[in-house]
Amino acid sequence: MNQENKETQNLAPRSQKKPGFFKSLFAKRWTFPAIYLGAAALIIGLVVAQTQDAKPFNDAEKTPEGTAVTDSGNSSDTAPVTANQELAWPVAQQDEKEVQVTMSFYDETKDEKSQAKSIVKYDNNFYTQNGVVIGRKDDKPFTVVAAASGTVSRVENDPLMGQLVEIKHDNGYVTYYASLSDIKVKEGDKVVQGADIAKSGNNRIEADQKNHLHFEVKKDGKNVDPEKAIKR
């Protein structure tokens, strides 16, 4: 009799059998969102842990094998660049209405979802964004201008960041422009605010951003959020 009961149970329709644990788990609506949020939190935690002893984003190793992570040092100092001058948006006036920020500055005070949008993945490494990425909706090149008057302190072609320009200003400010093309200035040049310095282009580490400008602002050696430092 027991043998007959076992055979009867084995012949039961599949729909009557209890589903396995994993099948039941993934059938629930909350499972995948929970897994996604957990993974995002883990990645952010790893990035924050790595940034404590890491090099700044624009000072990463010169080869694709570099394992540097960005420095996420923040500052609330938004004093004028000179006694009578404040930072301006580094885009020519005719292009201002066409451009937008496509990746924001990594801010440790923001929620995890916002932080996740400011992390760059390259060559199996994660980098916090210590500037902003600016691009046009139509992906067309645009004119990049000096955010303030100053002296061009650096012009080079970096393997990861692409063509770049760095300008030193008064009061400890430095502005950094990368992912450029058609650079019009050289090291040592004096430039005035709004002067054309290059066209937007692309770089290797932010290749998925297509044609864009990578723009950073530093105050006394620390990166600050360009969108907070510039009055628009």
What's residue 16's pLDDT?
41
Residue 108, C-beta contacts closer than 8 angstroms, at least 6 positions apart: 48, 72, 74, 115
Closest CA to 173 of 220, 216, 215: 220
Q: How confident is the model at residue 76 (pLDDT cuts 50, 70, 90)?
A: very low
pLDDT in tens, 8-25: 444 444 334 444 434 444
* CB 216, CB 130: distance < 8 Å: yes
Averaged pLDDT for residues 69-94:
64
- d(CA 177, CA 50) in angstroms, rounded, equals 25
Instruction: Tell me the three state secondary structure of residue 56.
Output: coil
Superfamily of domain 50-229: Glucose Permease (Domain IIA) (2.70.70.10)
Percent of the chain with pLDDT over 90: 58
Percent of the chain exceeding pLDDT 70 equals 63
Please check whether residue 185 is in contact with residue 165, taking contact to mean a CB–CB distance below 8 angstroms. yes
Using CA atoms, how far apart are residues 1 and 15, in angstroms rounded to an integer?
25
43 pLDDT band, cuts 50/70/90, is: low
Mean pLDDT across 190-211? 95
**Averaging pLDDT over each range in 39-48, 109-118, 157-166, which range is the top one?**
157-166
Predicted TM-score of the model (pTM): 0.68
Q: What are phi and psi of 208, to 5 degrees?
A: -70, -10
Q: Quick one: which of 90, 93, 120 has its CA closest to 104? A: 120
C-beta neighbour count of 135 within 10 angstroms:
24
Using CA atoms, how far residue 123 sits from 56, 120, 127, in Å, is 17, 10, 10
Dist CA 95 CA 107 (whole Å): 27
pLDDT band of 38, cuts 50, 70, 90: low
Please indicate whether residue 26 or residue 178 has the higher confidence score (pLDDT). Answer: 178
Asked whether 227 and 183 are in contact (CB, 8 A), the reply is: no
* pLDDT (average), residues 147-168: 97
The whole-number pLDDT of residue 55 equals: 39
What ranges do the domains of the chain cover? 50-229
